[in-house]
Structure 1
Amino acid sequence: METKLQKILIVEDEQSIQKLIEFTLQQANFVTVLANDGEEAIEKVLDEQPDLIILDLMLPKIDGLEVCRMLRKQDIETPIIMLTAKGEEMDKIIGLEMGADDYMTKPFSPREVAARVRAVLRRTGEPKNTKEKKLIAGQLTVYPERMEVYLDNQPLEFTPKEFELLVYFMKNPHRVFTRDQLLQAVWNYDFAGDTRIVDVHVSHLRDKIEENTRKPRYIKTMRGVGYKFGEQN
């Protein structure tokens, strides 16, 4: 039986970068589809139904952040890797908040492109298979199979990545994790990635589950090391 190749939509208006990514992914046995601006990107997502989108921030007509926002507003959950330039730290954070799954900073190596695409596809394609019916810490209750979270019996909303990080923390209470360990466990990176993505998601979790983010009850920062989850009285 012939294996169906996964399709990647590359949204990039700089032809040299677009062709580099296209060649790299084709060499890695992916099918590629191209878009040169934001409007075309949205059309290609609807027409081609790609397995993943590589989305540049600086695009003609509709910028990458707005493309991401529009897709998520339409409940299109296709994984998105954003391309950013150095110094666009706020754009990275906004992109993650809007629903992007990862980002790469220009310039990047062809090897990094293929590795990150595989990592995101591997993570987003894995079934949420767990034996636990629910996880409990203090007033926090999580149902992994249903992807539901309750705080004081009130439902909370999380992005898929935030939920996965919270579940990992709750399955490993009182264990200290470095940022690299969390990056490996939750994002499935098998190379040195940007650990700031961990800090961003921890911050989002605290905003939602902590009564006082300055004195967190659940997610503690271990200075010089990383993070530890465990109900603190």
Structure 2
Amino acid sequence: MYTVGYLIEKKQEVNVHLNFLTDKGWTLTEIKMKEQEVADQENLDAIIIFEETMSEACFWLMKLKKHVNVPIYLLSVIDESRSNIVYLQLGAEACFSMKMESEELYYTLANLFSHHSDKSSHLSAKTSTSSKQKAIELMPRNLSVLIDGKKEVSLTKKEYNALELLFNSPGQTISYRELKEELWNSEMNVEDKNYRIANIMFNLRNKIETNTANPRFIKTVRSRGYMLDIK
């Protein structure tokens, strides 16, 4: 259910719209501007202004828009297009007539709240995904690697193949034997090539690491091989 703040000019013992929303399980909180300075609005799904005079409604709108990010809806006694245009220009999400049936208002607001919530979640997920840059991204056509989405580094064929093997199994040790088979699989003479592997890793670190003494990406697993850390 939703939590809605509301502002009303004249204290009314009975307000059919508020009563209907309460009966539907919504939590309604009256906002008292002078004592609140719009505190605690983060917990609200929306704010409804019950307008009787345009000057007061405009004052509330301008003050609220400085402090809150939730949608603000306005129920108007006057219900004139010219007045509604002013309210919309001041930041009201939508304007409705006070003559509107309570049930119609309930379903209209419920749909608007649901749409606003879905949109916010989508934007949040999209922002989170786009802002999370890949630490390492292989560029096979260029025989290169992109670091943190910013710096592209060119590699030799063997350097690229070695990094690709590590990249395909992040966080796992790739043994000297696996590296030999990947890098020199076409050679019949399978002599000890650990020194060649070490030389390739040395060159790779010089190209992609900021601090080769304390490498961020390529970790040495003593007596076993190498591992890629891309957390």
After TM superposition, the score normalised by the length of structure 2 is 0.45
Q: Which entry has the higher C-alpha Rg, 1 or 2?
A: 2
